Structure 1
Amino acid sequence: MTRIYLVRHGQASFGTGHYDRLSPLGERQALLLGQHLRRMGFRADTWLSGSLDRQRSTLAAMLQGLEGGSPAEAHEGFNEYDHEAILGAYLPRVMADRGLTQETLAPLLGDNRQFQGLFTQVMQHWVDGTPHERPAFETWHAFQARVQAGLERLARSGHERIVAVSSGGPISLAVQVALGLSLEKTLALNWSIYNASVTELRVRRDGLALAGFNNVTHLELAGEPGLLTYR
């Protein structure tokens, strides 16, 4: 039976000029995961990631902690959606709906809870395919198809154990496929996935089955404050 272990990347550099880069905490989270897998005697047939910097760096830190394993070629099928393009296209509409100005928007962007509310509205516009005036970028349906194709590729690979470092969006879609979740629940699930968490899927004749979700035992056992993060 093929088992696919989807790892969310470690904490990225949210709020900086280069989000697609692990923070020092993100590097620590990924290293701890690799060390935990080494203590467990975990082995995989192949190790891969999306092609984003934060995903590749997470895999590199994991393998450093594991002290073994060779990364496979990066697979763009497991990349996250382009949140910057989506925000650029739909945030002005959400601001208009809420009666926000640039001055009143700034404090909201610095507050995780407030930003989450804004981003949820932005994402709904993307999912709905609301027209926008920005250059074209990947649609929700194209994103779904890309992730699905990536999962199918792994399922047909013939490997028994596969580790793929990805992001919250693709992992949420994978769980949606396995459990038949509604779109609303899938979007909500995205916000609950911890950095450097592990989600396990099993490939069966009738499709994917969820065997484990959002596992952060490696971070909890470390006993270090602040290791559990969502962004």
Structure 2
Amino acid sequence: MSELLVIRHGQASFGQDNYDVLSDLGHKQSEAVGVLLRETGWVPDRLVTGTLTRQRDTLSSMGFAQAPEEHAGFNEYDFGDLLQARFKGDVPDLVKGDRKTHFRALRETVFEWQDAAFDGASETYAEFAARVEAARAFACDTKAKRVLVISSGGVIGQMTAMALGADKRHMMELNLQVKNTAMSRFMFSGPKFGLHEFNATPHFMTPSGADLLSYS
């Protein structure tokens, strides 16, 4: 069996004009998980990211200099676009500015998106699920024994729900649990694909590491 280790990117710039930039904390989180992998002897044979800046920069800050392969299927869904579609271009200020309200709206909006309850989004949920599956197949179509992927919370939630045979609602419940730079490990061989570990952050399990924990 081969391993597919999927790591969520480090903390991005929530509330800023450009979310797709790692914060200082995000770089520190990425460095910590990279150190952990090297200390435990887990050396990847293949590197893959999405095309987002925060994903590529996470890999760089982890200390891997090799240029990764890229697959856009590992990119996050565009929540800003979903909000604009759901609220017809008039997103409430509280949704944009209050963290608790924002994440409540995130959950509700994704559930409505899954049910095709609004139109106008640049991507349907079915299209999102299909591209995530295409990215998973791309990463597993290899002779490599250890594949490292840097992706995002929604993609990891979708991959995990698929591996468990769970219904679509579980994608979002899992998505909201995924910590920045958390590791989710899958095992694969040919058509076989299964979850081995979800949302692990051993690099935060020290007094100093605990200060690095974040979810967004």
1:18 paired residue number: 18
CA contact (8 A) 1:4 1:200 kept: yes
1:99 paired residue number: none
1:207 paired residue number: 192
- Work out the CA distance in 1 between the residues paired with 2:34 and 2:96: 33
1:49 paired residue number: 49
- Work out the CA distance in 2 between the residues paired with 1:87 and 1:121: 10
Deviation at 1:211, TM superposition (A): 0.8
- Work out the CA distance in 2 between the residues paired with 1:222 and 1:48: 31
Which of residues 71, 74, 78 in structure 1 aligns to 2:70?
A: 74
1:162 aligns with 2:147: yes
2:201 counterpart letter in structure 1: V
- Work out the CA distance in 1 between the residues paired with 2:190 and 2:38: 31
The 1:40–1:87 alpha-carbon spacing in structure 2 relative to 1, beyond 3 Å, is: same
Unaligned runs of 5+ in 2: none
Deviation at 1:226, TM superposition (A): 3.2
- Same amino acid, percent of matched pairs: 32
Which of residues 62, 80, 84 in structure 1 aligns to 2:80?
A: 84
- Work out the CA distance in 2 between the residues paired with 1:205 and 1:57: 31
1:121 aligns with 2:108: yes
- Work out the CA distance in 2 between the residues paired with 1:69 and 1:222: 29
2:48 counterpart letter in structure 1: L
1:165 counterpart letter in structure 2: I
2:8 paired residue number: 8
1:27 paired residue number: 27
- Work out the CA distance in 2 between the residues paired with 1:118 and 1:202: 33
SS class of match (1:150): helix
Deviation at 1:71, TM superposition (A): 3.0
Aligned length: 216
1:111 counterpart letter in structure 2: D
Which of residues 193, 205, 213 in structure 2 aligns to 1:220?
A: 205
1:192 aligns with 2:177: yes
1:213 counterpart letter in structure 2: F
SS class of match (2:67): coil
Deviation at 1:77, TM superposition (A): 1.6
- Work out the CA distance in 1 between the residues paired with 2:94 and 2:204: 31
CA contact (8 A) 1:50 1:165 kept: yes
Unaligned runs of 5+ in 1: 96-101
CA contact (8 A) 2:48 2:139 kept: no
1:110 aligns with 2:97: yes
- Work out the CA distance in 1 between the residues paired with 2:178 and 2:124: 22
1:98 paired residue number: none
- Work out the CA distance in 1 between the residues paired with 2:168 and 2:71: 25
Deviation at 1:37, TM superposition (A): 1.2
Which of residues 125, 132, 137 in structure 2 aligns to 1:147?
A: 132
1:116 counterpart letter in structure 2: F
SS class of match (1:213): strand
1:119 counterpart letter in structure 2: L
SS class of match (1:226): helix
- Work out the CA distance in 2 between the residues paired with 1:203 and 1:16: 38
Deviation at 1:128, TM superposition (A): 1.5
Residue deviations 1:80-125 (CA, integer Å, cap 9, x gap)? 11111111111349x8xxxxxx7xx434543322221112221122
- Work out the CA distance in 1 between the residues paired with 2:95 and 2:118: 25
Q: Which has the higher helix share?
A: 1
SS class of match (2:100): helix
- Work out the CA distance in 2 between the residues paired with 1:81 and 1:129: 15
2:81 counterpart letter in structure 1: A
Deviation at 1:138, TM superposition (A): 1.3
